[in-house]
Structure 1
């Protein structure tokens, strides 16, 4: 069985190492984090591995996972390079969504093999993710030799793999951020708006749950244009104008961002509405678009 060293044992690192140990995919050797207690806690969760405090304490491994925050990856690569623990057969990879594998090999003369594999999975806690990771999609790119080792390892723990273009990985990650992270921000904005209307946050969460699930399911199993309903889809200019006026008043009194969110998301929604076969009259959509593009909306 191939060996793996883990550099950085946060939620993702602990989850993957635990699954690979549980499925007898890799032998987990050493684990390093910011402190010895946290490394020991990670090893306890993983069920294997030796907690260490520096790269100098680590021994050679077939595979190295650098699972630190993105801003710390380059520093860890430099430390590994100086350690002389890497050979031509060594695989080094990270799971960043924003960076491609080139950051792992800053000099072309370095002989080890590199890759990046990004799980599209919300790692809330390792305890939850170890049970929910199966079926997660993972985008990969890198050296064929590295992928020959890594892809079967991810498949072994239930990942669904797809290739991505390393040159466009930033856009790929931005798409994931909008769909996952920004969706949370949008839900918070909706709850804030409900509160301003006198509906408690708890009650708003309950009433949003079924309709948001239905909308998301319709948009992703069908298409956004098939799923879209509401005032923009109908070309209801007056409703959009009235809502903008109310949101602008909130901004004036509470420094709320709701008006700006409504305008930006509304402009994208107009683009979706224009694709609908039952599209509203073009002149109505044009008027709505003009309203949504106004930088300072009249609150009167």
Structure 2
């Protein structure tokens, strides 16, 4: 049986999911956005569905995708629950930061709820749609919803990864550590090289093999086994001297160095001993 899908919100994530699901035989029925023009653009990208700009025009569907901003998930869900019968249907949102419990209005109306968070950048929807295979998706929610969504995600090339709904915010912070804060730490390294008189372009060349090899080792061996440097060797005298020197050079960077000592020391304790 072909499952029908409605999209509420059709930014980059919604458009890509709609296009991929449609290509796999899921019947995209309607696309609802804030304006008729943006809904028509989304329908053109997806290649299926009807464009609407009012919840009153919504028709029932087996699956409702709330591809809206985090601050709009609750009001969109409440509006959806008022607009169409939801009993027996599935409603899911795409937030990486919020859990499926934000869809309580849909659950109260008889729907099964979930969240599906594709772990990648959607800056270029056309490129993402063409290269979606292998994309990890963090999923959590009602068992019945996941039983339907998991094979749907696998059909479009995703790799669903179940996560703990109660730790959804920590899950989202993991991406910040792996991406945003990694850049911040590398910026501190580049600035420290420059403080020692190394030109910025050369500083990047110096840091690149260290950073690249360390990252490769983490993903190949695990973080504890990949750790090297003075803390891994137990040379806390050097650590103290560096911390003092970095703080004297730049107070904020010194605070960052100091904040990293304790977790790095804990990581060193987990390092396999030869």
Counterpart residue number, 2:57: 57
Q: TM-score, normalised by structure 1?
A: 0.79
Counterpart residue number, 2:78: 78
What is the 5 A alignment of 1:92-107? 92-106=91-105
Task: Write the deviation string for residues 217-259 of structure 1: whole angstroms up to 9, x where unpaired.
Answer: 211221212111112222333432343233223435xxxx322
Moved more, 135-144 or 89-98: 135-144
Residues 46 and 278 (structure 1), Cα distance of their counterparts in 2 relative to 1, 3 Å cut: same
Q: TM-score, normalised by structure 2?
A: 0.86
What is the 5 A alignment of 1:1-300? 1-21=2-22, 23-83=23-83, 85-106=84-105, 109-251=108-250, 257-278=252-273
Q: Distance in 1 between matches of 2:212 and 2:137?
A: 23
Structure 1 runs not aligned, ≥5 long: 280-300
Residues 14 and 198 (structure 1), Cα distance of their counterparts in 2 relative to 1, 3 Å cut: farther
Number of equivalenced pairs:
273
Task: Write the deviation string for residues 118-156 of structure 1: whole angstroms up to 9, x where unpaired.
Answer: 222233432332234311222222223222221111001
Residues 11 and 198 (structure 1), Cα distance of their counterparts in 2 relative to 1, 3 Å cut: farther
Task: Write the deviation string for residues 162-215 of structure 1: whole angstroms up to 9, x where unpaired.
Answer: 322223323333333322332233333333434444444444444444432321
Residues 81 and 244 (structure 1), Cα distance of their counterparts in 2 relative to 1, 3 Å cut: same
Q: Distance in 2 between matches of 1:202 and 1:34?
A: 46
Please tell me whether the aligned partners of residues 121 and 133 of structure 1 are also in contact (alpha carbons under 8 angstroms): no
- RMSD across aligned positions (CA): 2.6
Task: Write the deviation string for residues 67-111 of structure 1: whole angstroms up to 9, x where unpaired.
Answer: 11212100101111121x133221100122222212112476421
Structure 2 runs not aligned, ≥5 long: none
Task: Write the deviation string for residues 1-60 of structure 1: whole angstroms up to 9, x where unpaired.
Answer: 222121222232222222222x32422232233444433333333333333322223322
Please tell me whether the aligned partners of residues 5 and 30 of structure 1 are also in contact (alpha carbons under 8 angstroms): yes
